[in-house]
């Protein structure tokens, strides 16, 4: 008999504590919803580290949603990955220095301060920064399976959900092309997918219940299906888990963010004891905010483009999603 099967054993399988005492920021949204923009702005706040894409955590929450991993194992893996990433990030290991990339640390207005952590004395760097740094992860499609994040991080979690008008061509086009790219089993993406053996194609795990419809749809119709999955009312009901686990959750509409970024940065900053400062204003300048957005023109051009490219059922879905967005997000947040 295994020691883990003994009812009176004092050994606990899969137990892990979070290595730091600071808050943990997670920003989520679909591709081209404005994640990179708000991640850049948030990472300019004092104490907040440059954001990092974290497919490891995405994998765990997806497999938890699919019940491949139970909650105990999922929490263990999320905490383990966080601790490893937090430690390595303090020492600037695995940091993107590629200046042309949107996630490059060189684009962070605090770069001159951050690069001091390249000091060869690892012990000194850890001692001086461990209790001053707030980690910031950027995820994709996490709202679909976010419960385990709240359950794991509880009151440490600051969860930012970015939404954008469904009738946005750049977002629809990006997701549409992404739906084609991930079909190939040799694609470099880091997402959890299912595989259709007959058609030899991959598709997102969260679309499994509509797999036949999804695979037969064109890329723009697929994009609408993916957006619809992320715009359901249970995803927008942001108080469901944050109240239960004493976390903080904020929904940010892209269109309002670019017009008044300070409003949202102050809300986030108040949760992590960081005030908007000169670096934040520098980030505003670099990211060209605040700025006006002609959403009416964007919608008109997008609908004109899609009119003869998608079937009427998907066109109507898009119109209804926009109504939901205006009522439940734009008017509330």
| Residue 196 included in any domain | yes
Q: Residue 107's pLDDT band (boundaries 50, 70, 90)?
A: confident
| Residue 236 included in any domain | no
| Residue 10 included in any domain | no
| Residue 281 included in any domain | yes
Q: Are residues 27 and 127 in the same domain?
A: yes
Longest dimension (CA), the chain: 69
Structural domain boundaries, residue 155: 15-166+247-291
For 35-39, 126-130, 164-168, which range has the lowest pLDDT when averaged over its residues? Answer: 126-130
Q: Are residues 212 and 328 in the same domain?
A: yes
Q: Are residues 201 and 66 in the same domain?
A: no
For 57-71, 121-135, 139-153, which range has the lowest pLDDT when averaged over its residues? Answer: 121-135
Handedness of CA 216, 220, 226, 231 (dihedral sign): negative
CA distance 229 to 236: 11
Residue range 252-274: mean pLDDT, rounded? 97
Strands 157-163 and 24-29: parallel
Residue range 217-230: mean pLDDT, rounded? 96
pLDDT at residue 257 is higher than 50: yes
pLDDT at 3: 44
| Rounded percentage of the chain residues whose pLDDT exceeds 70 | 95
Q: Are residues 159 and 58 in the same domain?
A: yes
Q: What is the DSSP letter of 160?
A: E
| Residue 241 included in any domain | no
pLDDT at 130: 83
pLDDT at residue 244 is higher than 70: yes
Residue range 116-130: mean pLDDT, rounded? 90
Q: Are residues 266 and 133 in the same domain?
A: yes
Mean pLDDT of the chain: 92
CA 87 vs. chain centroid, Å, equals: 21
pLDDT at 2: 45
More confident residue, 231 or 4: 231
Q: Are residues 298 and 286 in the same domain?
A: no
Q: Are residues 200 and 286 in the same domain?
A: no
Q: Are residues 39 and 109 in the same domain?
A: yes
pLDDT tens digits for 18-69?
999 999 999 999 999 999 999 999 999 999 999 999 999 999 999 999 999 9
CA distance 307 to 329: 25
pLDDT tens digits for 169-217?
999 999 999 999 999 888 888 899 999 999 889 999 999 999 999 999 9
66 φ, ψ (degrees, to nearest 5): -80, -5
How many folded domains does the chain comprise?
A: 2
End-of-domain residue from the set 257, 273, 291: 291
Q: Are residues 133 and 267 in the same domain?
A: yes
pLDDT tens digits for 266-321?
999 999 999 999 999 999 999 999 999 888 999 999 999 999 999 999 999 999 99
| Residue 115 included in any domain | yes
For 6-10, 14-18, 280-284, which range has the lowest pLDDT when averaged over its residues? Answer: 6-10
pLDDT at 135: 94
The set of long-range contacts for 237-245, using a CB threshold of 8 Å and a minimum separation of 24, is 238/161, 241/146, 241/147, 241/150, 241/151, 242/150, 242/159, 244/150, 245/150, 245/151, 245/153, 245/154, 245/155, 245/157
Q: Are residues 215 and 252 in the same domain?
A: no
| Residue 148 included in any domain | yes
Beta strands in the chain (DSSP E): 24-29, 52-53, 135-140, 157-163, 193-196, 201-204, 248-253
pTM to 2 decimal places: 0.92
pLDDT at 8: 54
Q: Are residues 252 and 129 in the same domain?
A: yes
| Rounded percentage of the chain residues whose pLDDT exceeds 90 | 78
pLDDT at 14: 84
More confident residue, 5 or 198: 198
Handedness of CA 149, 190, 43, 177 (dihedral sign): negative
pLDDT at 101: 85
| Residue 210 included in any domain | yes
Q: Are residues 117 and 155 in the same domain?
A: yes
pLDDT at residue 152 is higher than 90: yes
Helix, strand or coil for residue 97?
coil
pLDDT at residue 5 is higher than 60: no
């Amino acid at each position: 008999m295994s020691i883990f099967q003994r009812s009176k054993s004092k050994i606990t399988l899969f137990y892990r504590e979070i290595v730091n005492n600071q808050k943990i920021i997670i920003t989520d949204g679909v591709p081209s919803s404005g994640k990179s923009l708000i991640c850049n702005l948030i990472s300019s706040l004092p104490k907040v580290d440059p954001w990092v894409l974290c497919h490891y955590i995405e994998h765990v929450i997806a497999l938890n949603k699919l019940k491949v991993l139970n909650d105990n194992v999922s929490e263990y893996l999320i905490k383990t990955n966080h601790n490893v990433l937090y430690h390595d990030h303090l020492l600037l290991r695995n940091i993107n220095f590629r200046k042309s990339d949107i996630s490059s640390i060189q684009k962070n207005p605090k770069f001159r301060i951050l690069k001091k952590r390249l000091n060869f004395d690892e012990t000194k760097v850890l001692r001086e920064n461990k209790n001053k740094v707030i980690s910031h992860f950027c995820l994709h499609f996490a709202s679909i399976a976010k419960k385990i994040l709240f359950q794991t991080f509880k009151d440490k979690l600051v969860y930012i959900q970015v939404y954008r008008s469904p009738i946005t061509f750049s977002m629809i086009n990006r997701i549409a092309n992404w739906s084609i790219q991930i079909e190939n089993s040799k694609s470099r993406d880091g997402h959890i997918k299912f595989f259709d053996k007959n058609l030899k194609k991959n598709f997102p795990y969260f679309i499994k219940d509509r797999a036949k419809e999804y695979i037969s749809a064109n890329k723009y119709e697929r994009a609408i299906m993916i957006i619809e999955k992320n715009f359901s009312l249970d995803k927008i009901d942001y108080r469901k888990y944050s109240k239960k686990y004493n976390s903080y959750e904020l929904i940010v509409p892209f269109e309002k963010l670019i017009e008044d970024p300070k409003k949202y940065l102050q809300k986030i900053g108040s949760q992590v004891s960081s005030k908007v400062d000169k670096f934040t204003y520098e980030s505003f300048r670099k990211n060209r905010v605040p700025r006006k957005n002609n959403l009416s023109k964007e919608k008109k051009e997008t609908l004109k483009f899609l009119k003869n490219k998608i079937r009427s059922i998907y066109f109507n879905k898009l119109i209804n999603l926009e109504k939901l967005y205006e009522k439940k997000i734009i008017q509330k947040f």
